[in-house]
Amino acid sequence: MRIDGKVVLVTGAAKGIGAGIAGRLVEAGARVALLDVDREALGAKHAELAGGDGAVLALPADLVDEEQTRAAVDVAAAHFGRLDAAVNNAGIAVYGTAEELTTEGWERQLAVNLRGAFFVSKFAVPHLRAAGGGAIVNIASVHAFASYAGALAYDVSKNGMLGLTRTMALDHGRDRIRVNAICPGYIQTPLLDKWLAGEADPEATMKEVLRWHPLGRIGTPRDIAEAVLFLISDAASWITGTTLVVDGGLLISGK
């Protein structure tokens, strides 16, 4: 599948799922703006993907900050002359029960995962409208459907992304802006590695996780990237306000 010439902004693009998405979109012919708060990792990813044709732009930005986000989105659109799609992938995971969570932790979780997606979408819409329409893809999680003990703030943030998806699809459909969400399951990323490192027996935990997946493996960033590519492409031109679960069958296993 090709999306030659489309301009796509990807947040959290320096590592993990975001890096996989950015790389796949470049392969498919897109011009991609990489946004991330980690300047060092962002620079490395830009160097890896840039081919000397100006098709990849790196923009350091903290999406919790409204003005930084506005500026990054505007610079991306100005640099490429248009904006055709935005992928809200940036996210963190703050664990704890209601009793254990600090106010700071709760607010940080919602700020990065939900406020950041709101800001990017808010500032992307005028550019998408000016381009004659486009697509927004929100990377949520299976946590939006299945609650997990000790993941209160994370679960709430991912539930919120589905609400953002549906309502924006209603609000901007007449602008020919499609808004959809993807809910990944367990994906091999630095975030997963960090979670496993906190387990008493990481190896045993991973074996248990693998047993939960009917397809017998956890996902890769490319698995999510292929779904993003489809939702951005013209092949999905009549799909909006929906959620695509990409989890290797995790949810149907009851986990």
The string of DSSP letters for 18-49 reads HHHHHHHHHHTT-EEEEEES-HHHHHHHHHHH
* CA neighbor of 94 nearest in space, from 154, 34, 25: 154
Three-class secondary structure of residue 244 per DSSP: strand
Distance CA(21)–CA(5), nearest Å, equals 16
Q: Is residue 186 annotated as part of the catalytic site, yes or no?
A: no
Q: CB-based contacts of 181: which residues, under 8 Å, 6+ apart?
A: 137, 138, 139, 140, 144, 161, 162, 165, 242, 243, 244
* CA neighbor of 130 nearest in space, from 4, 1, 240, 7: 7
Distance CA(111)–CA(216), nearest Å, equals 34
CB 210 within 8 A of CB 192: no
The gap from C-alpha 150 to its chain's centroid, in whole angstroms, comes to 22
Any alpha helices (H) in the chain, and if so which ranges? 16-27, 39-49, 66-80, 103-110, 116-130, 152-172, 190-197, 202-211, 221-232
The residues annotated as belonging to the active site are 154
